[in-house]
Amino acid sequence: MNKTVDSSAEELMARRRSALDVERVRRDFPILHQEVRGKPLAYLDNAATAQKPESVIRTIDHYYRELNSNIHRGVHYLSEKATEAYEGSRETQRRFINAASTKEIIFVRGTTEAINLVAQSYGRSRLQAGDEIIISEMEHHSNIVPWQLLRDQIGIELKIIPINDAGELKLDVYEELLNERTKLVAINHLSNALGTINPVKTIIDKAHAAGALVLVDGAQAVPHTAVDVQALGCDFYAYSGHKLFGPTGIGILYGREELLEAMPPYQGGGDMIKMVKLDHTLFNDLPYKFEAGTPHIAGGIGLGAAVEYVNEIGLDAIVAHEHDLLDYATQQAQTVDGLRLIGTAKDKASILSFVMDGIHPHDIGTIVDSEGIAIRTGHHCAMPVMDHFGVPATARASFVLYNTHEEVDRLIKALKHAREVLT
Amino acid sequence: MFDLKDLYQEVIVDHNRSPRNFGEIADADRMIEGYNPLCGDKLNLYVKYDGSGERISDLKFDGSGCAISVASASLMTEALKGKTREEAESIFNEFHELLTAKELPEDIDKLDKLAALAGVRDYPTRIKCATLCWHTLHSALEGKSEPVTTE
């Protein structure tokens, strides 16, 4: 081995590690400091939902203790303050993904609702029988089923980009699928089941060249990669708060202003109107046109605090730390007999999905749980991915900024133990 | 305290590693599919009755699942082969009680090897793994043929 290369690689690794003070970060997350099954908790189920830092918990607590009030129409002090905080978070989200205007930032319940909103509002008003929508084989169910529902409602056709055995999109097939009937491409940025980072910029450019719009499902991507919707040029971008260290039940739909302007409301109710008569209604301006009813105010404000937390740590440091951790976990996983990785794309982040010979993922999950380690087992809401790899389920460890090399070591040890228990 | 050994008892590990009565009955009187959509476990249960139609003369299963569901199916086929429908129903009820009754039933010894599955009680998320094959059998005994799911 070349010694110079080795030592410089080590230095690089050391530098990466020092960029993020994991111990300091861990102190920000109160839930991590507990024992589970008599062992220190190792939370490796972040792709399902991430834990919340003290600042988010305090923000929500503060909202209910001191600010709680309905937003937008009140003239009293609390309503003004609550509105200010909620709209302040909208501006924080705008900056986070670099949208051109807060009119393009719609608060929704999460990525699922964002995609359903586009399918029902954009899809039903602008598409017709014979039009085509392209999705991929590696989508989460929430980026499959809304389009199937739309297909059954108006007779569009769904085309699927297949994946290869590394869990990467077959881009040559994608190019063949694009044609003048293609109206929309709906694609995930980072696969929750495989960890693949998709080349969304290329996908968007090709779609636009063919005259199609693009919706990017960013639920899994935003905690792990910087997003600039203007640089990407995407037409819609969706993400959830709870995977981004924010509350559940809140998320964001970004849409280009001119598209949102032309789309009909998704739901009717309070707040989305300017004037209601018994026989007709004048809808509100963007973004409120798409926000019917009292929203999840505490959630919206909490999501603001979550994004501020991520900004404070810095996505560059987060990405470097997670990359280092995933490399280490991938390497260590090879030392477990009979372990097969599901998802070995060149460009990957944060997710280690695997199966083990002769041990069902559910048993893996239970055995590592007895060591205080939380992982997810099942189909990860991506049954077509399971079908592709011919497995009923996988075990999945997923990492974020607060996970450590020591936790990876504990996981690997527990997996070796699982082999002893069951074979 | 949770002890993994209470769940993965030797008899369970053994039946998972070498499931008994695993395979198809070509001339089964009834074939029925059991499915747990949560974990993707799938099993097919084959039942054959004797001439009177009252006694289970052969019982087999195939499919894929976790250690708990495979061992449970294997133990079930062993326990019910040769039993009448009525006896099978009664064991089904006792087994169900073993896993779901508030208090652990006192006379679990009469369930013989099936009692090894009592450890599942401490793992609420895994109870469906152990009961899938039993619900599938229950449906088969009632003469149904549509697939059984745990949800």
pLDDT tens figures, A242-284: 999 999 999 999 999 999 999 999 999 999 999 999 999 999 9
Nearest CA-CA partner of A170 in A141, A196, A140, A144:
A196
pLDDT above 90 covers a percentage of chain A that reads 94
pLDDT at position B108 is: 81
- Burial of A62-71, coded b for 16+ CB within 10 Å and e otherwise, reads bbeeebebeb
pLDDT at position A81 is: 96
Interface test with A, best of B2, B33, B35, B39 (most A CBs within 10 A): B39
Distance CA B105, CA B117 (A): 13
Which residues in chain A touch residue B64, judged by CB atoms under 8 angstroms apart? Answer: 360, 392
CA A129 from centroid of its chain's CA atoms:
31
Q: Do B39 and A423 touch (CB under 8 A)?
A: no
User: To the nearest whole number, what is the mean pLDDT of chain B?
Assistant: 91
Q: Do B67 and A360 touch (CB under 8 A)?
A: yes
Instruction: Locate B59 and state its tokens.
Output: 């019982």
CA dihedral B11, B16, B19, B24 (to 10 degrees): 150
pLDDT higher than threshold 80 for residue A61: yes
pLDDT higher than threshold 70 for residue B42: yes
Interface of A with B (CB under 8 A): 37-38, 359-363, 366-367, 370, 377-379, 386, 392-393, 421-423
- Of the pLDDT bands very low, low, confident and very high (cuts 50, 70, 90), residue B5 is confident
- Of the pLDDT bands very low, low, confident and very high (cuts 50, 70, 90), residue A103 is very high
Per mean pLDDT, which range of A113-117, A176-180, B147-151 is the poorest? B147-151
Q: What is the mean pLDDT of residues A316-331?
A: 97
Distance CA B6, CA B4 (A): 5
Catalytic residues of A: 381
Mind telling me how many Å the CA of A379 is from chain B's nearest CA? Answer: 7
Is pTM, for the whole model, over 0.90? yes
Strands A42-43 and B56-64, how do they pair? Answer: unpaired
B108 in A contact zone (CB under 8 Å): no
Instruction: Locate B128 and state its tokens.
Output: 């469906």
Give, for A113, the enclosing helix (H) or strand (E).
Answer: helix A111-117
Per-residue pLDDT tens digits for A222-232: 999 999 999 99
pLDDT at position A6 is: 53
Distance CA B56, CA B77 (A): 10
pLDDT above 90 covers a percentage of chain B that reads 70
pLDDT at position B149 is: 81
B127 in A contact zone (CB under 8 Å): no
pLDDT higher than threshold 70 for residue A40: yes
Which residues in chain A touch residue B4, judged by CB atoms under 8 angstroms apart? Answer: 366-367, 370, 421
Structure letter (DSSP) for residue A255: E
Per mean pLDDT, which range of A162-166, A185-189, A268-272, B40-44 is the poorest? B40-44
User: To the nearest whole number, what is the mean pLDDT of chain A?
Assistant: 95
pLDDT higher than threshold 50 for residue A307: yes
Which residues in chain A touch residue B42, judged by CB atoms under 8 angstroms apart? Answer: 392
pLDDT at position A8 is: 62
Long-range contacts: B62-65, Cβ < 8 Å, 24+? Answer: B62/B22, B62/B23, B62/B24, B63/B34, B64/A360, B64/A392, B65/A360, B65/B36, B65/B39, B65/B41, B65/B129, B65/B132
Q: What is the mean pLDDT of residues A370-380?
A: 95
Per-residue pLDDT tens digits for A185-222: 999 999 999 999 999 999 999 999 999 999 999 999 99
Give, for A84, the enclosing helix (H) or strand (E).
Answer: helix A77-97
Nearest residue of A to residue B129 by CA position?
A362
pLDDT at position A232 is: 98
- Of the pLDDT bands very low, low, confident and very high (cuts 50, 70, 90), residue A353 is very high
